[in-house]
Structure 1
Amino acid sequence: MNDADTRLRSASDAARAWVHEAIERLAREAARSADTHLLALALPGFPGIDFYFKDEAAHPTGSLKHRLARSLYLYALCNGRLREGQDVVDASSGSTAIAEAWFARLLGLRFTAVMPACTAPAKIRAVEALGGTCDLVEDPPSVQARARVHAAYGACHLDQFGLAERATDWRGNNNIAESILGQLAREPHPAPAWIVCGAGTGGTSATIGRYLRYRRLATRLCVAEPAGGAFARGWPGRDPDARASSPTVIEGIGRPRVEPGFLFDVVDEVAEVTDAASIAAMQWLEALFGRRYGGSSGTNLVACLQLACAMRARGERGSIVSLLCDRGDRYAETLFDAEWLAARAIDPRPWHAALRACIEDGRWRKA
């Protein structure tokens, strides 16, 4: 072996050693992080139907996307796409970016989040507080194209929208579906009638839907979607070219287009929820649990109530499980601000009253 070969071998060994150390850091972080709580909720209008909400806001980075960010970094490392000292970039409306910035700091890497300029200010500040840089884009559908520009200059594109459904091991390895079912094992209805989640990247719905089939369970999966979102538009005909019919203020879900991670065939139902209903339900979550959660958690609650009303009408018993996706303090200047809502002609008060009546008597009604 000549000197050039020796130098190449030495550089290769050093690069492999850094990847091994990075993966070990991620493994240690996972070992330090306890599982998130599964909160039980009994509602007076639904005797015989148990509600559970998995509190993903309890993760160190405050959202469900903590799991995804860890998986995306592992996927990039194990596929040879991420090297020592390389910049990292991704397109995100906030929560994924916060988690990715947190893991970038853990690994000693520079991170850039390409975000819509309309992203909640608290999310932008959170990314910057973790050492990340925010590249704000006026046209939300163009964020992925801008992330690819960063990648063309050498950054590792984590690509949550393109890789979310494959980066997570859906067969187990403490994914969210395995965690939910493990926590339900001693409950009266350990195999829920429904699991409800949103579709942002599509990774969570893909993981849950695949896992339910892998475990051969009768549990059905409902995607809770802002009204007119791309998943809702595309799901009936399994249309990969569907586009959203209307924008939404519920960040993280209600994508303008069908993403590569959207697996329509593992979903049994789609519940479309107006923004006003999601915000009213978000406010109800604060009343029910004594802490604030974001708008997508409200979307999930509305879908849970719709499914429970249908179960009650059929005389069915069972359990429904959903997710509390992120911390509500991120939306103090937007979804929780009455003036901000009024400026956008969103009035959640009629829906607040309708949801109160539903919770009390178990009958669905629109505002």
Structure 2
Amino acid sequence: MTDLWVRQAISQLNADANRSADTHLLGFELPAHWGIELYLKDESVHPTGSLKHRLARSLLLYGLVNGRIKEGTTLVEASSGSTAVSEAYFSRMLGLEFIAVVTASTSTEKIKLIEFYGGRCHLVDGAGQLDVAARELAAQSGGYYLDQFTYAERATDWRGNNNIAESVYAQMSAEPHPIPSWIVVGAGTGGTSATFGRYARYKQHDTRICVADPEGSAFYEGWKTGNPDYVSGTGSRIEGIGRPTVEPSFMPGVIDHMMQVPDAASLAAMHLLRAKTRYFAGGSTGTNLYAAFKTISQMLKNGEQGSVVTLLCDSGERYTNTYYNQQWLDDQGLNLAPYTEAMEQFLATGTFEH
């Protein structure tokens, strides 16, 4: 029988879902004669400010219903930042201690948010050390390792239950092209692309899934070569997506296309989004948007019309000292201008020449 504390914890998480699970679907204006609409699902409006709010809630529910999280359990996560922010929020809600293992390069803004919600940060030098350190801390504390990179795809109910895919299709129902031709997402754990891909197939929708992968990530090469053990050795400078290894939650079989996006292109698209719409987003949103633009250019080339949906993953406020800081961009050797020019040309002509 489920004990009283676990029942109350599940009720609290479900109540949060009722309050905040649905988010806005925003339009990005394109030339009307193209016959193509572009939408951004704004996940930055969740209480913890990112797409990872959904994942964190699902991971805690998964631990609770499997009997791994109980009253007094210390929770541990390996994270690039945003997942840990959301998990810290839910851990505090349930009165549980939370330890986030993050890389030393994680933005100061994210570390402060983890600590704001009562979490404690354990810093490691590189992404390749996250998993080992998290497992060690969980063992030392007698706690539970939430392990987003393993459990993301199975913790989320892809059939429905107000997941992000169900929400998008419901919000699209009155649009000119209600069934998206393409859904474009990045991959951090692979859980989001797995959810969209499975849901589209389950509902028998003619929607294709494109995963946009930043440079340095292992996902693209692992998908292209069919090697689930591919290791890139570097990881990604775009926080929240890209990994040095192909993670267990990454489901290549539900993906129709992958696209590798240069870091400078991701950040140029992020800046262009703010200039064109005032939407203030982070680097992973830029990766998504750049890939969505290239997807639309190919649709135009093929004479196709329809709709494309991508994600606004988190707020740009978390990156004021990095992606929105010209000195940081210069120090990283990132020249955004060629990609900005290519996107401006695309928006004016429908062609992409970069």
Distance 1:351 1:245, change over 3 A: farther
Q: Does 1:293 align with 2:287?
A: no
Q: Does 1:322 align with 2:307?
A: no
**Secondary structure at the counterpart of residue 235 of structure 1:** helix
How far apart, CA to CA, are the structure 2 residues paired with 1:302 and 1:46? Answer: 21
Q: Partner of 2:201 in structure 1? A: 213
Off by >4 Å, runs of 4+ in structure 1: none
C-alpha deviation, 1:245, in angstroms: 6.2
Aligned length: 353
Higher Cα Rg: structure 1 or 2? 1
Q: Deviations over 1:90-111 (max 9, x none)?
A: 0000100000000011101110
Q: Does 1:142 align with 2:129?
A: yes
How far apart, CA to CA, are the structure 2 residues paired with 1:67 and 1:91? Answer: 17
Which residue, 300, 309, 326 being the options, matches 2:297? 309
Which residue, 94, 101, 104 being the options, matches 1:107? 94
How far apart, CA to CA, are the structure 2 residues paired with 1:318 and 1:265? Answer: 24
User: 1:69 touches 1:96 (CA, 8 Å); kept in 2?
Assistant: yes
How far apart, CA to CA, are the structure 1 residues paired with 2:268 and 2:147? Answer: 32
Q: Partner of 1:204 in structure 2? A: 192
How far apart, CA to CA, are the structure 2 residues paired with 1:144 and 1:167? Answer: 18
How far apart, CA to CA, are the structure 1 residues paired with 2:32 and 2:324? Answer: 27
Q: Deviations over 1:63-83 (max 9, x none)?
A: 000000000000000000001
Q: Partner of 2:249 in structure 1? A: 261
Which residue, 83, 87, 108 being the options, matches 1:96? 83
Which residue, 346, 352, 356 being the options, matches 2:344? 356
Q: Does 1:251 align with 2:232?
A: no
Q: Partner of 2:157 in structure 1? A: 169
TM-score (ref. length: structure 2): 0.97
Which residue, 56, 66, 70 being the options, matches 1:69? 56
Q: Does 1:159 align with 2:147?
A: yes
Q: Partner of 1:336 in structure 2? A: 324
Moved more, 38-47 or 22-31: 38-47
**Secondary structure at the counterpart of residue 309 of structure 2:** strand
**Secondary structure at the counterpart of residue 308 of structure 2:** strand
Q: Deviations over 1:268-294 (max 9, x none)?
A: 000110000000000011123213100
Equivalent AA in structure 2 for residue 20 of structure 1 = R
Aligned alpha-carbon RMSD (Å): 1.3
User: 1:45 touches 1:358 (CA, 8 Å); kept in 2?
Assistant: no
Equivalent AA in structure 2 for residue 61 of structure 1 = T
Equivalent AA in structure 1 for residue 118 of structure 2 = G
User: 1:46 touches 1:308 (CA, 8 Å); kept in 2?
Assistant: no
Structure 1, unpaired ranges of 5+: 1-12
C-alpha deviation, 1:347, in angstroms: 1.2
Q: Deviations over 1:170-211 (max 9, x none)?
A: 001011111100000111101111000011011001111111
Which residue, 173, 176, 186 being the options, matches 1:185? 173
How far apart, CA to CA, are the structure 2 residues paired with 1:238 and 1:264? Answer: 8
Q: Deviations over 1:228-277 (max 9, x none)?
A: 42110010232111122654310111111000001001000001100000
User: 1:46 touches 1:362 (CA, 8 Å); kept in 2?
Assistant: no
Q: Partner of 1:10 in structure 2? A: none
How far apart, CA to CA, are the structure 1 residues paired with 2:122 and 2:25? Answer: 35
C-alpha deviation, 1:351, in angstroms: 1.1
Which residue, 259, 271, 291 being the options, matches 1:283? 271
TM-score (ref. length: structure 1): 0.94
C-alpha deviation, 1:46, in angstroms: 6.5
User: 2:127 touches 2:235 (CA, 8 Å); kept in 1?
Assistant: no
User: 2:186 touches 2:213 (CA, 8 Å); kept in 1?
Assistant: yes
**Secondary structure at the counterpart of residue 293 of structure 1:** coil
Structure 2, unpaired ranges of 5+: none
Q: Deviations over 1:288-347 (max 9, x none)?
A: 321310001000011111110111011110000000001111000111111011111111
Distance 1:247 1:32, change over 3 A: closer
Equivalent AA in structure 2 for residue 358 of structure 1 = F
How far apart, CA to CA, are the structure 1 residues paired with 2:276 and 2:165? Answer: 24
User: 1:43 touches 1:360 (CA, 8 Å); kept in 2?
Assistant: no
How far apart, CA to CA, are the structure 2 residues paired with 1:168 and 1:62? Answer: 19
